[in-house]
Amino acid sequence: MQQWARIAILGAMFVVAYLLILAWQKDYGNAEQKPQQNAAVVSHEVSADLPNGQTATAASDVPQANNAATQQTTDAAAPVSQQLISVQTDLYHLWISPKGGDIVRVELLNHDKNKDSDEPFVMLESDAKRTYVAQSGLIGLNGPDSNPKGRPNYEVEKTSYSLNDAKAVKGQDGQTVKVLSVPMVYKTADGVEVIKTFTFTQGEYPVVVNHKIINRSAQNWQGQMFGQLKRDNSEDPGKSDQGIFTLGTFLGGAWGSPDEHYNKLKFANFNDEKLNVEATGGWVAMVQHYFVSAWVPGEIKLTQKGQPFAAKLESRKSNDDMNIIGFTSPAINVPAGTVAEVDATFYSGPKIQSELKDLAVGLNQTVDYGWLWPIAKLLFLGLQFFHGLVGNWGWSIILLTILVKLILWPLSSKSYRSMAKMRVIAPEMQRMKEEFGEDRMRFSQEMMALYKREQVNPLSGCLPLLLQMPIFLALYWVLMESVELRHAPWLGWIQDLSAMDPWFILPLLMGATMFIQQMLNPQPADPMQAKVFRIMPIIFTVFMLFFPAGLVLYWICNNSITILQQSLINKAVAKDRAKREEADSVN
């Protein structure tokens, strides 16, 4: 019994220590930056910070070339729009700068800034307080983004686009969806035309960014496509702040390839441990709590059929301490009088695992469940299944708890049966302690004989705790990392299962169920341990005040089912004991 008490106390200490470590391991930087309220006046004069292409003469942020050629691109005289290009779909509102064609602001329409706000969550933005943008273009020997005079100024037909005005087409699955194309044109004086097109699809977050190079000049055109994410060191606007046990989620860069599916890179290590990998089928991303932005290199099309290209994945720090992670394509040669295309896919939105998995190998692992990810993944799939049936994440947690308890019922029943026997023989144990308490060796011998005679394992009581602890911690990661449960309501006062209960009702119910469960267990023989056991429900209730409501709901359901199971087993054991004693008295 003393061993069981020690294990229970150590288990509680382990949970508390583990969550305290998480609270200290937050990868956040400066104070939170407020997004600019009026997107129409967001500055699109984002500094270049581009990768190095195949020219040594380039804008400050442009990547350096593999050779020292210094051919320059000459702008044709053309009027330049100074307005951002507004694009609205069913999922987001996005702004593109005509200078370079960078995405400088993204608002997610289906995700609020916080639970009590109607403002959309701002994913990307560029203003005096915060910089987080997605840049892309053509660099290299003839790439317009490598022009020392600055990045290209694209011409556009209009400055406002809406998916509602787009034409409907049949998708690959046969369903009719709306597809919106936003073309931007840049022409050089020597006859090269670049058409940069953003393609948006109804119901999808990925955006295809295509560069079409039409070479009407008399010379060969050569360049490379790049795509990159550029971010300052500001705090994660999507982080949770619901108490001292809030999960310290990762904020930084990430990349993957078919050989190395998922790798994280802290902003602080963008120079010292910077990324420099070449891969076909790779990706780069910036990860934050619940959301991710990513570039996935696509294909180079020199003929009718496109071919995936081996992209160079890189990370670096700019001169003004901006964090940059991106890709660069191989050199693209477009002979005079020919046409070529190169594209990539950009994603900026919630970490929806099914969508990210289809986009690139390993990108779905940006939903980082930690070292317990195998258990967490199973729990999430179970929650998804039940959510498909009942349409509510709170009831899904309850149904998942019932399923888990049913699976563990045979193992836990053996443990609870042994604990019930311990409860029955408690008077005999107390008698032995009074009789042999001074002789510890004799007392231990008599106790072992009693355990053997009654077929009791004093350590079996720790089995339920050992089984539940990994599930408890894995579910914590699921609730805190899965965007599907962000701001997910249950009923009544619980309007966000990923946040703490605002009225502390669930933690109090959890404490009550823990107290009832404790009454069904055998009490420790040692007075000090018995006292500790009596205050354990109070201690756990205090801790649970700051836990996500969904996790507390799971623990309440788990305790309630355990109470039912223990009650049934206690009655059965007591009944068997009474029959045995009656049979012994007759004999």
For residue 579, the model assigns a pLDDT of: 80
Structural domains of the chain, count: 2
Give the domain-ending residue among 368, 401, 424: 368
Domain CATH number, residue 284: 2.70.98.90
Of 333, 368, 403, the domain-final residue: 368
Domain that includes residue 145, residue range: 134-368
How far lies 570's CA from each of 329, 370, 416, 422, 562, in Å? 69, 38, 8, 10, 12
Mark whether 217 and 245 lie in a shared domain: yes
Residue 67: per-residue pLDDT: 39
Q: Give the other-Cβ count within 10 Å of 34's Cβ.
A: 11
pLDDT in tens, 423-447: 777 778 878 877 877 788 888 888 8
pTM: 0.84
Domain boundary among 321, 344, 368: 368
322: in domain:
yes
pLDDT of the residue at 305: 84
Q: Are residues 168 and 261 in the same domain?
A: yes
Residues 257 and 344 placed together within one structural domain of the fold: yes
Which pair of tokens denotes residue 275?
A: 């990324």
Judgement on whether residues 171 and 292 belong to the same structural domain of the protein: yes
280 and 396 housed in the same domain: no
426 with 360, same domain: the answer is no
Residue 402 within a domain: yes
Whether 416 and 528 share a structural domain: yes
Cα four-point dihedral sign 500, 503, 506, 508:
positive
pLDDT by 10s per residue, the chain, length 587: 444 444 455 555 555 554 554 444 444 333 333 333 344 334 445 566 777 765 434 444 545 444 333 344 444 433 445 699 999 999 999 999 999 999 999 999 999 998 888 899 999 999 888 999 999 999 999 999 998 889 999 999 999 999 999 989 987 777 899 999 999 999 999 999 999 999 999 999 999 999 999 999 999 999 999 999 999 999 998 775 454 555 568 999 999 999 999 999 999 999 888 899 999 999 999 999 999 999 999 999 997 788 999 999 999 999 999 999 999 999 999 999 999 999 999 999 999 999 999 999 999 999 999 899 999 999 999 999 999 999 999 999 999 999 999 999 988 888 888 777 777 777 788 788 778 777 888 888 888 888 888 777 776 667 677 878 899 899 989 988 999 999 999 999 999 999 999 999 999 999 999 999 988 877 766 677 778 888 989 999 998 998 999 999 999 999 999 999 999 998 888 888 778 777 767 66
Query: What's the CA gap between 518 and 533, in Å, rounded?
Result: 8
Tell me, what's the pLDDT at 29? Answer: 38
Residue 364 shares a structural domain with residue 389: no
Please tell me whether residues 352 and 445 are part of one structural domain: no
Tally Cβ neighbours within 10 Å of residue 488. Answer: 23
| Same domain membership, residue 390 and residue 360 | no
Predicted pLDDT of residue 16: 52
pLDDT at 448: 86
Q: What angle do CA 518, 523, 525 make, to 5 degrees?
A: 160
**Is residue 503 assigned to a domain?**
yes
3-state secondary structure of 439: coil
Residue 192 and residue 262 in one domain: yes
**142 close to 221: Cβ distance less than 8 angstroms:** yes
Amino acid (1-letter code) at residue 246: T
Residue 6 lies in a domain: no
Residue 352 sits in the same domain as residue 418: no
484, 393 contact by CB (below 8 A)? yes
Query: Has residue 473 been placed in a domain?
Result: yes
User: Residue 7 domain-assigned?
Assistant: no
Helices (H) and strands (E) in the chain, counts: 10, 21
- Given a contact cutoff of 8 angstroms between Cβ atoms, the answer to whether 105 and 83 are in contact is no
Question: How many angstroms separate the CA atoms of 441 and 575, rounded?
Answer: 33
